[in-house]
Structure 1
Amino acid sequence: MSTLVLLFDLLGTFVFALSGGTLAVRHRLDFFGVLVLSCAAAVSGGIARDVLIGAQPPTALADWRYLATAMLAGVLTFYRHQSIEHMRNPVQVFDAAGLALFAVLGTGKALAFGLSPFAATLLGMITGIGGGIARDLLVARTPVVLQAELYAVAALVGGSVVATAHVAGLPQSPAMVIGALVCFGLRFMAIRHGWHLPAATPPDDQR
């Protein structure tokens, strides 16, 4: 099971890194810039979580496979950008799966370090969306995760399933599976049907 979780974790890392590399190419960054955005998108959320809960050193830095996976995705994006753009829909689905996995694993890890269920749920969300926020800030744009269809909210809901099961004394493994499925389902349906929260509409400028 731990090997399977690691494989899915690395798959999520790879897909998030693709999103960072793709954005870097669109902004015409150089090779190093593509690698930086790929790594930022892939591991920033997990590093932020580990720093906040005191897990030192962060897993993404202690295990070379995470950064290696992110950089591999960056290299592929740099040299095969057009092919990856053509896979936009499959990448979105994998991104939703990565978000779901990161959210529930982040929540579970925070609970294991003794955080309250509410704080653990927030850290699970941060694990899922932190990379996207770091990626967008590096190119000076409003983070997409704060605007896209039920992205951060889906991560929050998935993490809350794990936290609720912890409070109720239920087994964590089934709760993580259910939380991941709920998060993935919400994100997938949001992509499919354009579900989103109401957006703020500023008043007209006063002249």
Structure 2
Amino acid sequence: MFFALDIAGTFVFALSGAFKGVREGLDWLGISVLAVLTGVGGGIVRDVLLGYTPPAVFRDERYLAVCLTGALAVLLFGRTISRTWNRVMLADALGLGLFAAMGAAKGATFGLGPLGTIFVGGLSAVGGGVIRDVLVGERPAILYKGFYATAALAGSATLVVLTWSGMAVAPRLAIAASVATTLRLLELARNARLAQEA
């Protein structure tokens, strides 16, 4: 189940990278590069920092294939996908929570302390988006808008606390991911309400 959600999150992150490439007027190769780096960039940076090389994405090329599929989907069906963007954002929030929880769990497995574990979890969740924004010459969105990084860090911190409690791995991953996802969804709902009131 977690692998399926991980793949789904990777796909949605790749979609966001590909859409950014389209908006920036990139060609198909540029769009594909952004899709891949947005989908798996955070995980690559995390694994390199942890000394887990080659990174997991190169050990299991299904992740790269999923990112390229996301790029192809945007190139072929971009208008259709954009009409269901609310669903894409829901999936994105689910991916954020899962990436934060699993990234933090991996950091803990490598013996990091609480702060290091939280940092690695947050990096896993938002690193791809930062790489995407830098590549197109934008200030990373996590620095000035939304609740993205905060939600990821909260989910990672939740995993640390639950680890101290001695809870089994699967439930603490599920709870930590749910915390990050819920916070992100609440922020999206608040922004939508404010937009309607404006």
Q: Is TM > 0.5 for Structure 1 vs Structure 2?
A: yes
Identity %, equivalent residues: 38
Task: Indicate yes or no: 2:40 matched with 1:43.
Answer: yes
- Which residue of 155, 160, 167 corresponds with 2:157? 160
- 1:63-109 Cα offsets, whole Å, 9 max, x none, are 11000000010011112111121121111110000000000000001
- State the distance in 2 between where 1:91 and 1:102 align: 16
- Any residues of structure 2 matched to 1:70-109 within 5 Å, and which? 70-109=67-106
Please say if 1:146 is aligned against 2:143.
yes
Q: CA deviation at 1:167?
A: 2.6
| Counterpart residue type for residue 72 of structure 1 | T
| 1:57 match | 54
Q: What corresponds to 1:128 in structure 2?
A: 125
Q: 2:185: which partner in 1?
A: 188
TM-score, structure 1 length as denominator?
0.90
Letter in 1 for 2:148: Y
Unmatched runs of 5 consecutive residues or more in structure 2: 193-198
Structure 2 partner of 1:201: none
* Counterpart Cα distance in 2 of 1:128 and 1:110: 13
1:67 aligns with 2:76: no
Aligned partner of 1:172 among 149, 169, 174: 169
d(CA) in 1 for partners of 2:157 and 2:191? 23
AA aligned to 2:24 is H
Cα deviation, 1:153-198, whole Å, max 9, x if unaligned, reads 0000000011112233332321111111111110000000139xxx
Looking at structure 2, the residues matched to 116 and 53 of structure 1 have their Cα atoms a distance apart, in angstroms, of 13
Equivalent residue for 2:195? none
Amino acid at match of 1:129: V
Distance 1:148 1:103 in 2: 19
Structure 1 runs of 4+ off > 6 angstroms?
A: none
Q: TM-score, normalised by structure 2?
A: 0.94
Structure showing greater radius of gyration is: 1
Shift of residue 49 of structure 1?
0.6
**Alignment coverage as a number of residue pairs:** 192
Partner residue of 2:5?
Answer: 8
CA offset at residue 146 of structure 1?
Answer: 2.2
Asked if the contact 1:13–1:69 (Cα under 8 Å) also holds between the matched residues in 2, the reply is yes
- The answer on whether the counterparts of 1:118 and 1:163 sit within 8 Å (CA) in structure 2 is no
